[in-house]
Structure 1
Amino acid sequence: MRRTLLSAAVTAAGVCTLLALKPHQPAVRPVIGSGSGSGSGTPASGTYTGESVETRYGPVQVRITVSGGRITEATAVRTPFANERDRETAGYAVPVLTSETLAAQSASIDAVSGATYTSEGYTRSLQSALDQARTRTRTRTHG
Protein backbone atom coordinates (compact mmCIF):
# COMPACT_ATOMS: atom_id res chain seq x y z
CA MET A 1 0.00 0.00 0.00
CA ARG A 2 2.78 2.40 0.94
CA ARG A 3 4.69 1.69 -2.29
CA THR A 4 1.57 2.26 -4.38
CA LEU A 5 0.93 5.60 -2.72
CA LEU A 6 4.55 6.68 -3.16
CA SER A 7 4.52 5.57 -6.81
CA ALA A 8 1.32 7.54 -7.51
CA ALA A 9 2.76 10.66 -5.86
CA VAL A 10 5.98 10.46 -7.88
CA THR A 11 4.01 9.93 -11.10
CA ALA A 12 1.75 12.91 -10.36
CA ALA A 13 4.76 15.11 -9.62
CA GLY A 14 6.41 14.06 -12.87
CA VAL A 15 3.29 14.81 -14.93
CA CYS A 16 2.93 18.23 -13.28
CA THR A 17 6.57 19.01 -14.03
CA LEU A 18 6.16 18.05 -17.69
CA LEU A 19 3.01 20.15 -18.05
CA ALA A 20 4.77 23.14 -16.52
CA LEU A 21 7.54 22.87 -19.14
CA LYS A 22 5.12 22.89 -22.09
CA PRO A 23 5.64 26.06 -24.16
CA HIS A 24 2.62 28.32 -24.25
CA GLN A 25 1.27 29.30 -27.65
CA PRO A 26 -0.68 32.51 -28.23
CA ALA A 27 -4.41 31.83 -28.44
CA VAL A 28 -4.89 33.88 -31.60
CA ARG A 29 -2.43 34.66 -34.37
CA PRO A 30 -2.27 38.26 -35.55
CA VAL A 31 -4.13 39.04 -38.76
CA ILE A 32 -2.37 40.16 -41.91
CA GLY A 33 -2.92 43.84 -41.12
CA SER A 34 -0.73 43.69 -38.02
CA GLY A 35 3.02 43.60 -37.85
CA SER A 36 6.06 45.69 -37.18
CA GLY A 37 5.91 47.64 -40.41
CA SER A 38 4.72 51.17 -41.01
CA GLY A 39 1.79 50.27 -43.25
CA SER A 40 -1.60 49.30 -41.94
CA GLY A 41 -4.76 47.81 -43.34
CA THR A 42 -5.43 45.23 -45.98
CA PRO A 43 -2.60 44.75 -48.47
CA ALA A 44 -3.15 45.70 -52.11
CA SER A 45 -3.34 42.95 -54.69
CA GLY A 46 -0.10 42.36 -56.54
CA THR A 47 3.29 40.69 -56.27
CA TYR A 48 5.82 42.00 -53.76
CA THR A 49 9.43 41.00 -53.18
CA GLY A 50 10.75 41.51 -49.67
CA GLU A 51 14.22 42.75 -48.86
CA SER A 52 17.10 40.32 -49.15
CA VAL A 53 18.07 39.46 -45.57
CA GLU A 54 21.66 38.39 -44.91
CA THR A 55 21.84 35.50 -42.45
CA ARG A 56 24.80 33.67 -40.99
CA TYR A 57 24.60 31.13 -43.82
CA GLY A 58 23.57 33.36 -46.70
CA PRO A 59 20.77 35.56 -48.05
CA VAL A 60 17.05 34.83 -47.76
CA GLN A 61 14.45 36.66 -49.82
CA VAL A 62 10.71 36.07 -50.13
CA ARG A 63 8.21 37.06 -52.84
CA ILE A 64 4.48 37.05 -52.14
CA THR A 65 1.39 37.36 -54.27
CA VAL A 66 -1.62 39.05 -52.69
CA SER A 67 -5.12 38.78 -54.10
CA GLY A 68 -8.27 40.05 -52.43
CA GLY A 69 -6.34 41.04 -49.32
CA ARG A 70 -4.95 37.52 -48.82
CA ILE A 71 -1.53 36.01 -49.43
CA THR A 72 -2.16 33.47 -52.17
CA GLU A 73 1.45 32.53 -52.87
CA ALA A 74 4.78 32.79 -51.08
CA THR A 75 8.06 31.87 -52.75
CA ALA A 76 11.59 31.93 -51.38
CA VAL A 77 13.53 33.46 -54.28
CA ARG A 78 16.88 33.37 -52.42
CA THR A 79 18.04 30.88 -49.81
CA PRO A 80 21.46 29.86 -48.47
CA PHE A 81 23.14 27.53 -51.00
CA ALA A 82 26.90 27.62 -50.34
CA ASN A 83 27.10 23.92 -49.50
CA GLU A 84 25.02 20.74 -49.36
CA ARG A 85 24.01 21.36 -45.73
CA ASP A 86 22.66 24.84 -46.59
CA ARG A 87 20.66 23.47 -49.52
CA GLU A 88 19.33 20.60 -47.40
CA THR A 89 18.26 22.93 -44.59
CA ALA A 90 16.50 25.30 -46.98
CA GLY A 91 14.95 22.32 -48.75
CA TYR A 92 13.07 21.16 -45.67
CA ALA A 93 12.52 24.55 -43.98
CA VAL A 94 11.14 26.64 -46.84
CA PRO A 95 8.09 24.44 -47.60
CA VAL A 96 7.15 24.53 -43.89
CA LEU A 97 7.62 28.31 -43.70
CA THR A 98 5.59 28.78 -46.88
CA SER A 99 2.77 26.62 -45.55
CA GLU A 100 2.74 28.55 -42.27
CA THR A 101 2.70 31.85 -44.15
CA LEU A 102 -0.38 30.85 -46.13
CA ALA A 103 -2.12 29.57 -42.99
CA ALA A 104 -1.25 32.56 -40.77
CA GLN A 105 -1.68 35.21 -43.48
CA SER A 106 1.04 37.21 -41.71
CA ALA A 107 4.73 37.14 -40.85
CA SER A 108 3.90 35.85 -37.36
CA ILE A 109 5.01 32.29 -38.04
CA ASP A 110 7.02 29.77 -36.05
CA ALA A 111 10.67 29.09 -36.81
CA VAL A 112 11.57 25.66 -38.16
CA SER A 113 13.70 23.65 -35.76
CA GLY A 114 17.22 23.26 -37.11
CA ALA A 115 16.77 26.20 -39.49
CA THR A 116 16.66 29.13 -37.11
CA TYR A 117 18.69 31.54 -39.25
CA THR A 118 16.82 30.68 -42.43
CA SER A 119 13.50 31.03 -40.57
CA GLU A 120 14.47 34.44 -39.20
CA GLY A 121 15.58 35.67 -42.62
CA TYR A 122 12.39 34.34 -44.23
CA THR A 123 10.20 36.07 -41.64
CA ARG A 124 12.01 39.41 -41.95
CA SER A 125 11.84 39.35 -45.75
CA LEU A 126 8.17 38.31 -45.63
CA GLN A 127 7.39 41.23 -43.30
CA SER A 128 9.16 43.58 -45.71
CA ALA A 129 6.98 42.34 -48.59
CA LEU A 130 3.83 42.74 -46.49
CA ASP A 131 4.88 46.27 -45.54
CA GLN A 132 5.21 47.12 -49.25
CA ALA A 133 1.73 45.77 -49.96
CA ARG A 134 0.18 47.74 -47.10
CA THR A 135 2.07 50.94 -48.03
CA ARG A 136 0.77 50.65 -51.57
CA THR A 137 -2.79 50.39 -50.22
CA ARG A 138 -2.30 53.44 -47.97
CA THR A 139 -0.82 55.45 -50.85
CA ARG A 140 -3.74 54.59 -53.11
CA THR A 141 -6.30 55.40 -50.43
CA HIS A 142 -4.77 58.68 -49.26
CA GLY A 143 -2.57 59.70 -52.16
Structure 2
Amino acid sequence: MRRTLFTLATTTAVITVLLALKPHQPPAPALAAHLAAGDSSGRTAGGKRSGTFTGDTLDTPYGPVQVRITISAGRLTAVTAVRVPDDNPRDREIAAYAVPRLTGEALDAQSARIDAVSGATYTSGGYIRSLQSALDRTGG
Protein backbone atom coordinates (compact mmCIF):
# COMPACT_ATOMS: atom_id res chain seq x y z
CA MET A 1 0.00 0.00 0.00
CA ARG A 2 2.79 2.43 0.92
CA ARG A 3 4.67 1.57 -2.22
CA THR A 4 1.61 2.28 -4.37
CA LEU A 5 1.00 5.66 -2.73
CA PHE A 6 4.68 6.61 -3.08
CA THR A 7 4.66 5.63 -6.77
CA LEU A 8 1.44 7.55 -7.39
CA ALA A 9 2.75 10.67 -5.62
CA THR A 10 6.07 10.53 -7.48
CA THR A 11 4.40 10.04 -10.85
CA THR A 12 2.03 12.95 -10.20
CA ALA A 13 4.92 15.21 -9.20
CA VAL A 14 6.94 14.32 -12.30
CA ILE A 15 3.99 14.88 -14.64
CA THR A 16 3.25 18.24 -13.00
CA VAL A 17 6.85 19.38 -13.44
CA LEU A 18 6.92 18.25 -17.08
CA LEU A 19 3.67 20.04 -17.90
CA ALA A 20 4.90 23.23 -16.25
CA LEU A 21 7.99 23.43 -18.44
CA LYS A 22 7.67 25.67 -21.46
CA PRO A 23 9.70 24.55 -24.46
CA HIS A 24 12.58 26.82 -25.36
CA GLN A 25 12.03 28.87 -28.47
CA PRO A 26 14.79 30.71 -30.25
CA PRO A 27 14.38 34.48 -29.99
CA ALA A 28 12.20 35.92 -32.72
CA PRO A 29 14.00 38.10 -35.23
CA ALA A 30 13.65 41.80 -34.58
CA LEU A 31 10.44 43.15 -36.00
CA ALA A 32 12.36 45.96 -37.68
CA ALA A 33 13.93 43.40 -40.02
CA HIS A 34 10.45 42.58 -41.32
CA LEU A 35 9.45 46.19 -41.85
CA ALA A 36 11.06 47.14 -45.12
CA ALA A 37 8.61 48.44 -47.74
CA GLY A 38 7.09 51.91 -47.50
CA ASP A 39 3.44 53.02 -47.35
CA SER A 40 1.42 55.93 -46.00
CA SER A 41 2.08 55.01 -42.36
CA GLY A 42 5.46 56.76 -42.48
CA ARG A 43 8.93 56.18 -41.16
CA THR A 44 10.85 57.74 -38.33
CA ALA A 45 14.04 59.73 -38.87
CA GLY A 46 16.05 56.53 -38.41
CA GLY A 47 14.17 54.92 -41.32
CA LYS A 48 12.13 52.57 -39.14
CA ARG A 49 8.44 52.10 -39.84
CA SER A 50 5.75 53.54 -37.56
CA GLY A 51 1.97 53.39 -37.78
CA THR A 52 -1.19 51.47 -37.01
CA PHE A 53 -2.17 48.39 -39.00
CA THR A 54 -5.34 46.32 -38.79
CA GLY A 55 -5.25 42.58 -39.38
CA ASP A 56 -7.74 40.43 -41.25
CA THR A 57 -10.97 39.41 -39.56
CA LEU A 58 -10.73 35.67 -38.98
CA ASP A 59 -13.89 33.64 -38.50
CA THR A 60 -13.65 30.99 -35.79
CA PRO A 61 -16.33 28.50 -34.72
CA TYR A 62 -17.17 30.88 -31.86
CA GLY A 63 -17.06 34.19 -33.72
CA PRO A 64 -14.75 36.62 -35.51
CA VAL A 65 -11.33 37.68 -34.24
CA GLN A 66 -9.44 40.76 -35.43
CA VAL A 67 -6.49 42.71 -34.04
CA ARG A 68 -4.90 46.10 -34.66
CA ILE A 69 -1.22 46.75 -34.01
CA THR A 70 0.82 49.87 -33.43
CA ILE A 71 4.41 50.03 -34.59
CA SER A 72 6.68 52.76 -33.27
CA ALA A 73 10.29 53.11 -34.41
CA GLY A 74 10.19 49.60 -35.85
CA ARG A 75 8.92 47.97 -32.63
CA LEU A 76 5.55 46.45 -31.87
CA THR A 77 4.26 48.71 -29.10
CA ALA A 78 0.56 47.84 -28.89
CA VAL A 79 -1.84 45.10 -29.91
CA THR A 80 -5.56 45.76 -29.56
CA ALA A 81 -8.26 43.17 -30.03
CA VAL A 82 -10.80 44.85 -32.31
CA ARG A 83 -13.15 41.86 -32.45
CA VAL A 84 -13.35 38.76 -30.29
CA PRO A 85 -16.08 36.14 -29.82
CA ASP A 86 -18.74 37.60 -27.52
CA ASP A 87 -22.04 35.91 -28.37
CA ASN A 88 -22.53 34.54 -24.86
CA PRO A 89 -21.06 34.91 -21.35
CA ARG A 90 -18.71 31.95 -21.82
CA ASP A 91 -17.25 33.43 -25.03
CA ARG A 92 -16.70 36.75 -23.24
CA GLU A 93 -15.08 34.96 -20.28
CA ILE A 94 -12.67 33.06 -22.54
CA ALA A 95 -11.76 36.20 -24.50
CA ALA A 96 -11.22 38.17 -21.28
CA TYR A 97 -8.82 35.46 -20.11
CA ALA A 98 -7.00 34.76 -23.39
CA VAL A 99 -6.58 38.15 -25.08
CA PRO A 100 -4.39 39.80 -22.40
CA ARG A 101 -2.11 36.75 -22.37
CA LEU A 102 -1.86 36.67 -26.16
CA THR A 103 -1.17 40.42 -26.24
CA GLY A 104 1.57 40.12 -23.64
CA GLU A 105 3.23 37.29 -25.53
CA ALA A 106 3.04 39.17 -28.84
CA LEU A 107 4.65 42.26 -27.32
CA ASP A 108 7.37 40.16 -25.68
CA ALA A 109 8.05 38.17 -28.87
CA GLN A 110 7.73 41.18 -31.19
CA SER A 111 6.11 38.78 -33.66
CA ALA A 112 3.17 36.44 -34.18
CA ARG A 113 5.27 33.45 -33.14
CA ILE A 114 3.46 32.95 -29.84
CA ASP A 115 1.82 30.09 -27.99
CA ALA A 116 -1.93 29.55 -27.99
CA VAL A 117 -3.77 29.89 -24.68
CA SER A 118 -5.04 26.59 -23.32
CA GLY A 119 -8.82 26.53 -23.31
CA ALA A 120 -9.00 29.22 -25.98
CA THR A 121 -7.59 27.36 -28.95
CA TYR A 122 -9.88 28.82 -31.62
CA THR A 123 -9.65 32.38 -30.27
CA SER A 124 -5.86 32.02 -30.04
CA GLY A 125 -5.61 30.75 -33.61
CA GLY A 126 -7.71 33.62 -34.95
CA TYR A 127 -5.74 36.14 -32.89
CA ILE A 128 -2.38 34.82 -34.11
CA ARG A 129 -3.46 34.73 -37.78
CA SER A 130 -4.95 38.25 -37.58
CA LEU A 131 -1.79 39.47 -35.85
CA GLN A 132 0.34 37.97 -38.61
CA SER A 133 -1.79 39.62 -41.31
CA ALA A 134 -1.39 43.00 -39.56
CA LEU A 135 2.38 42.47 -39.38
CA ASP A 136 2.36 41.55 -43.08
CA ARG A 137 0.68 44.89 -43.85
CA THR A 138 3.66 46.70 -42.39
CA GLY A 139 5.54 45.83 -45.53
CA GLY A 140 7.63 42.93 -44.24
| Common topology (TM > 0.5) | yes
Larger helix proportion, structure 1 or 2? 1
Please tell me whether residue 26 in structure 1 is matched to residue 31 in structure 2.
Answer: no
Q: 1:30: how far off?
A: 1.9
Structure of higher RCO (CA pairs closer than 8 Å, 6+ residues apart): 1
| SS in structure 2 of the partner of residue 77 of structure 1 | strand
Q: CA RMSD in A?
A: 2.7
Distance 2:86 2:28 in 1: 32
Contact 1:62 1:129 in 2 (8 A): yes
Tell me which residue corresponds to 2:133: 128
Tell me which residue corresponds to 2:115: 110
Paired residue type of 2:27: R
Distance 1:32 1:107 in 2: 12
Give 1:1-143 correspondences, 5 Å limit: 14=11, 18=15, 22=19, 25-33=23-31, 41-43=33-35, 44-135=49-140
Q: Output the TM-score relative to the length of structure 2.
A: 0.74
Percent identical across equivalent pairs? Answer: 53
Please give the per-residue CA displacement for 1:45-104, whole angstroms capped at 9, x wherever unaligned: 110000000011000000000011110000000000111111111011111111111111
> Which structure has the greater CA radius of gyration?
1
- Tell me, which stretches of 5 or more residues in structure 1 are unaligned? 1-5, 34-39, 136-143
Distance 2:86 2:16 in 1: 39
